[in-house]
Amino acid sequence: MVNSVRVIGVDPGTKTLDICGLKDGEVELDISYPSEVVASSPETIVAEIVKFQPDLMIGPSGMGLSLKHITELNEDDKFELTIERPEDRGRIPVLVGLQKMVQLLAEKKQNVYFIPGVIHLSTVPRYRKVNKIDLGTADKMAIGVLGVYSEAKRKNMSFDKVNFVLLEIGFGYNACLAVEGGKIVDGLGGTIFPGPAFLNFGVMDGEIAYLLGGFPKELLFSGGVSSITAGAVISPEEFVELINNGDGQAKLALDSFLEGIIRAVSQELTVTKANTVVLSGRLTRVLQLNKLITEAIRNKFDLEVTNLVGFAEAKEAAQGSALIADGLAGGRFATLVEHLEIRNSNARLLENVFIGELYKKEWK
């Protein structure tokens, strides 16, 4: 092991950007910034990162890239990180802030890598990628890495014996990953999840997409539980209060939300021998929602349901990214990163899309 390895992992989430810094595998930096700070003052976040003096950090990787250094980014890479049509660029403040953050990190000569999303992983068979983009963004992949580490530790077994289904129930999006033999072998990202998340509507009916006739990126943050319940953004805690008060729209949203989760788990059980479902994400930290999700899964499947156990206050994706950073730097978690074959990521985001001319289109 290399001595004094200092690394940082980040999670650019919908509500917050979290930073987890490790020194020789131990937590030394544990910070969360509201998304408003990301949008308005990305230089504040970069200053904190530079102050920590990381040997290596994982940057805000969005949809993900096959493992790539910040100095190697080209225009195609920058497009694939955020998937924004030219006419939508600059419309979502948080994305603008993240792009500025990447620019500042480059200017300050930081040793930054961008990590794969699920679709980039060589451990996911190509046929599962056909006509898909969102099998799970880079932050969801990082949560999968934390899950492998956590489950191996919890069950006192080697990485290659770890099988589970990961359910990430975030504020914006849901995701479900299949882990077999300690490797991520499939995923359902937020925009193909078979039911609504808290903000996002989940998988979209093709006929609805046709009727919309194209839509702005902001639409991907609507149509979920919050919209069904109140027609506006509310908090998960307000949602629970409406459920308890017998609100009909809240009940409709809850039923759709829970069935989507069951469908996602069912689909991922077809590709893993898992007997455990691991829960993660903002909504699972709301006690009543965690109980409802757990009961729904146990009522349908003969499976253990457990909460993902991390090692820091920062969100799970920041912790997972920190493990990846440490492993890439040759630190304590190098064996974990090698087992997950993150260095072997080898795909482009759109290379398996065969619908119309989309896969040939230039987006610069």
User: Is 227 part of a structural domain of the chain?
Assistant: yes
Phi then psi for residue 28, to 5 deg, are -125, -20
Looking only at the bridges linking them, the beta strands covering 16-23 and 6-12 are antiparallel
Residue 139: closest CA among 340, 324, 321: 321
Structure tokens of 8? 């940082």
Helix (H, G, I), strand (E, B) or coil at 189: coil
**Any idea what the CATH number is for the domain that residue 339 is in?**
3.30.420.40
User: Is 344 part of a structural domain of the chain?
Assistant: yes
**Structural domain harbouring 348:** 6-360
Helix axis angle, 287-300 to 236-244, nearest 10°: 70
Contact predicate 352/126, CB 8 Å: yes
Residue 60: closest CA among 1, 133, 11, 126: 11
Residue 183: closest CA among 154, 156, 152: 152
pLDDT the model gives residue 356: 79
Could you report the per-residue pLDDT of 301-321, keeping only the tens digit for each?
Answer: 999 999 999 999 999 999 999
Mean pLDDT of the chain: 93
Going by pLDDT thresholds of 50, 70 and 90, the confidence category of residue 359 is low
Residue 193: closest CA among 203, 184, 205: 203
Structure tokens of 90? 């600059």
Could you report the per-residue pLDDT of 122-176, keeping only the tens digit for each?
Answer: 999 999 999 999 999 999 999 999 999 999 999 999 999 999 999 999 999 999 9
Which residue has better confidence, 283 or 213?
Answer: 283
* Number of structural domains the chain divides into: 1
User: Is 195 part of a structural domain of the chain?
Assistant: yes
Residue 271: closest CA among 154, 181, 175, 347: 181
User: Is 188 part of a structural domain of the chain?
Assistant: yes
Contact predicate 148/158, CB 8 Å: no
Q: What percent of the chain has pLDDT over 90?
A: 80
Going by pLDDT thresholds of 50, 70 and 90, the confidence category of residue 361 is low
User: Is 214 part of a structural domain of the chain?
Assistant: yes
pLDDT higher than threshold 80 for residue 4: yes
User: Is 1 part of a structural domain of the chain?
Assistant: no
Cα–Cα distances in Å, from 64 out to 82, 248, 257?
Answer: 9, 39, 26
pLDDT the model gives residue 271: 95
pLDDT the model gives residue 1: 44
- Cα 322 versus chain centre, distance: 14
Could you report the per-residue pLDDT of 75-116, keeping only the tens digit for each?
Answer: 999 889 988 887 777 677 778 888 888 999 999 999 999 999
Site of tokens 């190509």: 126
Average pLDDT, stretch 257-283? Answer: 97
- Cα 134 versus chain centre, distance: 10
pLDDT higher than threshold 80 for residue 324: yes
Please count the other Cβ atoms lying within 10 Å of the Cβ belonging to residue 179. 29
Going by pLDDT thresholds of 50, 70 and 90, the confidence category of residue 12 is confident
pLDDT the model gives residue 59: 94
pLDDT higher than threshold 90 for residue 214: no
Going by pLDDT thresholds of 50, 70 and 90, the confidence category of residue 360 is low
